Each structure stands twice: as C-alpha cells, then as structure tokens.
Amino acid sequence: MDPRRFERVDETTWRYGPEGAMRVPAVIYATEPLLREMDEKVLEQLRNVATLPGIVEAAFAMPDAHWGYGFPIGGVAAFDPERGGVVSAGGVGFDISCGVRTHLTGLREADIAAVRERLADELFRTVPAGLGRRGRIRLDDRAMDAMLAGGAAWAVAEGYGEDADLERIEERGRTAGADPDAVSRRARERQREEMGTLGSGNHYLEVQVVDRVEDEATARAFGLRPGEVVVTIHCGSRGLGHQIGTDYLREMARAAERHGIRLPDRELACAPVRSEVGRRYLGAMRAGINCALANRQIVAHLARTVFARFFPGIRLPLLFDVSHNTCKEEVHATAEGPRRLFVHRKGATRAFPPEHPDIPEPLRPWGQPVLIGGSMGTGSWVLAGARADGTRAFASAVHGAGRAISRHRALRTFRGEQVVRALAERGILVRSVSLRGVAEEAPAAYKDVDAVVEAAHRAGLARKVAHLRPLIVIKG
C-alpha cells in the first residue's frame, strides 16, 4: 500500500479521509514497512466500514491487518446504538471468540527435555485436532443450552478446571446476554461433538518457553520467568460460531435493506443494534463467545491431565484468556464524553490499560495481559495494556502476526514435511493430522510477529512484556 495516500499523523499512525460516503476517517496503526506490505483491500474495506451508520471516531486497523470478509482482519470499529449504530456479523467474523489462553507450569525447559517427545505424542493423542475432529463429549439439548449460557463457568462446574481459572478469563468466563434460542439447530448440530477440540487452520496448542523478558516488573506480576515453560492454546467456537455467522449474514443483508442502510459491500451486512435482528444476533454471538470460552477451558483441562501424568501434582494456573472476533458493549471516553458503544474487534483483542475495573486483581495495576500468537517457527508474545493517558482504538491491540500470503499460495510454495523437518532441526516438535495444514501455516506465510508487536508497542496499543519460543506444536 502506498503511504502517500495517507496523512501521516505520527510515526505509526496513518489517516485517510473522510471522503465521499465515509462518516469518519480510516486510521491504520503500522510502521511504514508494515503499511507498504499491506494489501490495498485493507484500505478499501476500512473505507467501506467508515460508511456504516452510527460509527464513532474512526474505522481502525491494527499493524497485523490484512484482507478479510467485510471488515479487514485486524479491524476495529465502534457503533453508538443511540445514533442508529449497527452490529455486523462480518465485523465479528466466522470464528466467533477465537482466542488465546496461556497457562504457567513452573517447570524449566530442562525439566521437560527428557520427556519432550513423549509429551508431544501424548498431547497429540489427548487433544483432538483437525478439520471435523470430534471430542469425547456429546451434548444433549439441555447441556447445549447450559454451555451456550454458561461458557467456561459451565465447563468448570462440569469438572473441567477450577474456580480460580474464571478469575483470569474475560467476564469471568461467561458473557452475559447470551440467547441459546437465537442459535440455529444447524449450528447446534455442528457443535454437538466438537467441545474440547482445537480444529484446524491456525489453531494450536503449544508448549513454549519464556526466552526474553522486556518488562521485568510486569512479567514478574504475570508469573513469567525466563527459562520457564508455559502452555498456550489458540482456538475458538468451531462449527457453531461459523454457522452463526453464516445464518445471520443472510438475515442482516435483508435487514439492512429494510432499514434503509446502503451497503457498499454485501459482506458488510448489518442491522441496527436496537432492531429485532440485531438483538437476536447479539444473543447468538454471545452464545458463540461462551462456546469458545468453554471449548478452550476443556482443552486446557485435557492438557493439564497430560502434564499431570509426567509431573504429578502440577497445576498449570491460568495467566489469562483473551478473545478476538467479538462485538462487546463497553463504555469508552469520546470527545463528547463517556458513551456506551458496541465495539467490533475482528482479529483484534481488548487491551485495557492499568487500573481498568474489568481487569482482575492482582493484574489490575499492570494492565490486561494481551496474548499474541505468532507462527509455528517465530514464537509468540505476551503484551499488556498500554500505560497511555488515554487508550487508542477503543483499548484494542493486535491479535497475531497476520498472514503475509494466502493459504492457497502457501500450498503452492511450501511442503508440509519440509516445514516439519526444518522446525525439528531448530528444536521445535510438530504434531499434526495434516501436512497440508502445516504447509498452509508455514512460518513464512505470516508477517514478522516481532515487527508487528514492535509497531503495536510504538503506537501505544499495548506494551511488550515477554517473548515465548515454541518447543512443541500441536496442530490440526
């Protein structure tokens, strides 16, 4: 993308418009090299988002942004329901509440060295991964309703984890306002046997080591110590979330027309927050969030059982669980004072600053943990909400490295077995049901996660705390 198309506000802030039908400007946070690497579709999609009714401040894109469905992945936009603001299924995405959670082990890298191969094999056997893979849990209608309403809190009550986990999950593991009745029969059927599964694509379970600390005080408060091992899980709402998105995009396309909303792109199908369709989608989407929270909670329980076989008595306390691909009702400061807004974060996460009341103690003085998944070979990051006087992009930050090339192009470029072999030579064990999936997710198919995180840090979206290097990768 040509930087000359933008007004450069500062080192990492690029502003475009408003022009034409845009109600607000488009703003991209990125270094100049990252901006140049972005495809033109990112700006086109931001311009389209900026035309939607009730949008507040700007249509934002994070440093990891790339083309997506309707909204760019890495897109953030907030809407005021009192001014005709809308909710868009395309602004949330199909993998509702895909997210990341990290568990501490207290183990040193040397502690797992002798059992690493066996540990990798046992994790792969125990945690179902791959397209269409089913878990060991089958939900009847009553249990499905309870899961959709209860989220991770339901999973803990069913014996998958401990109460202390809920203190380290957004909204204590249960999003209020979920409406199981707004979830279609087809969505329920797709999820009935998929609880406790990773799925495919970029979802994974990784055993990692803290190999670099950037903020010692915050890392210490988060329980991250150099040389210690952590377990990170990245997955979402599986087939249920995808079906919710599919169902409501059709309905919203019709609803937009009824409400006189002109869509510059059909993929931006939306409905007023206060409309009947808008309310039902929010209820279904919140149920999808709860599904993802419950799913990650069960996967974490399975990982704990594996570690306990090798290290009796180990607990694996949760550092934090953070979602992306959501729309959440939040109060934010604006030029007109505090306003209750519906914040879409598609491929972006919350990044609440220190002392925010929604951050659990004892993390509150340090800011919300922001967990950034990288590619298989480049490692991941733990960030924290920025210490700025105000927050940027409605307290949002990046969610990962962001794709550099499409999955189709990756398949033409890389061979799965070569990727596995190259990673093994670097001490990274990969276990996957699909070499095709490994090729699609090859490290070189993604942007440089360190560059993305550096841009987020410089932009004041979040601050660097610690880098995590992969040791074991379990993928679909």
- Report the number of distinct structural domains present in the chain: 1
CA atoms 160, 163, 165, 167: torsion sign: positive
Is residue 375 situated within a structural domain?
Answer: yes
For residue 441, what are its two tokens?
């997710």
C-alpha closest to that of 64 among 409, 374, 395: 374
DSSP 76: E
CATH number, residue 233:
3.90.1860.10
Q: What is the pLDDT of residue 410?
A: 83
Is residue 421 situated within a structural domain?
Answer: no
CB atoms closer than 10 angstroms to residue 165: 25
Identity of residue 95: D
Using DSSP's 3-state secondary structure scheme, residue 314 falls into coil
Tokens 């994790």, located at residue: 123
Alpha helices in 311-365 (DSSP H): none
Predicted TM-score (pTM) of this structure: 0.96
Is residue 87 situated within a structural domain?
Answer: yes
Q: What is the pLDDT of residue 201?
A: 79
Q: What is the pLDDT of residue 269?
A: 95
Is residue 414 situated within a structural domain?
Answer: no
Contact 136/158 with Cβ under 8 angstroms?
Answer: no
Is residue 423 situated within a structural domain?
Answer: no
DSSP string, 374-438: --TTT-EEEEEE---SS-STTTEEE-B--BSS-HHHHHHH--HHHHHHHHHHTT-EEEES-HHHH
Is residue 276 situated within a structural domain?
Answer: yes
Tokens 């991209």, located at residue: 28
Distance CA 452, CA 435 (A): 27
For residue 275, what are its two tokens?
């409309």
3-state helix, strand, coil in the chain (%, to 5): 40, 30, 35
Is residue 438 situated within a structural domain?
Answer: no
Q: What is the pLDDT of residue 401?
A: 81
Q: Of the residues 399, 408, 457, 467, which is catalytic?
A: 399
Distance CA 228, CA 353 (A): 26
Q: What is the pLDDT of residue 458?
A: 96
CB atoms closer than 10 angstroms to residue 134: 14
Q: What is the pLDDT along the chain (476 residues), one digit of tens a residue?
A: 999 999 999 999 999 999 999 999 999 999 999 999 999 999 999 999 999 999 999 999 999 999 999 999 999 999 999 999 999 999 999 999 999 999 999 999 999 999 999 999 999 999 988 666 677 889 999 999 999 999 999 999 999 999 999 999 999 999 999 999 999 999 999 999 999 999 887 899 999 999 999 999 999 999 999 999 999 999 999 999 999 999 999 999 999 999 999 999 999 999 999 999 999 999 999 999 999 999 999 999 999 999 999 999 999 999 999 999 999 999 999 988 999 999 999 999 999 999 999 999 999 999 999 999 887 778 999 999 997 655 799 999 999 887 777 888 888 888 888 988 888 899 999 998 888 888 888 878 887 899 999 999 999 999 999 999 999 999 97
Is residue 435 situated within a structural domain?
Answer: no
467 is catalytic: no
Which residues are paired to 8 by β-bridges? 14
Domain that holds residue 178: 3-404+446-475
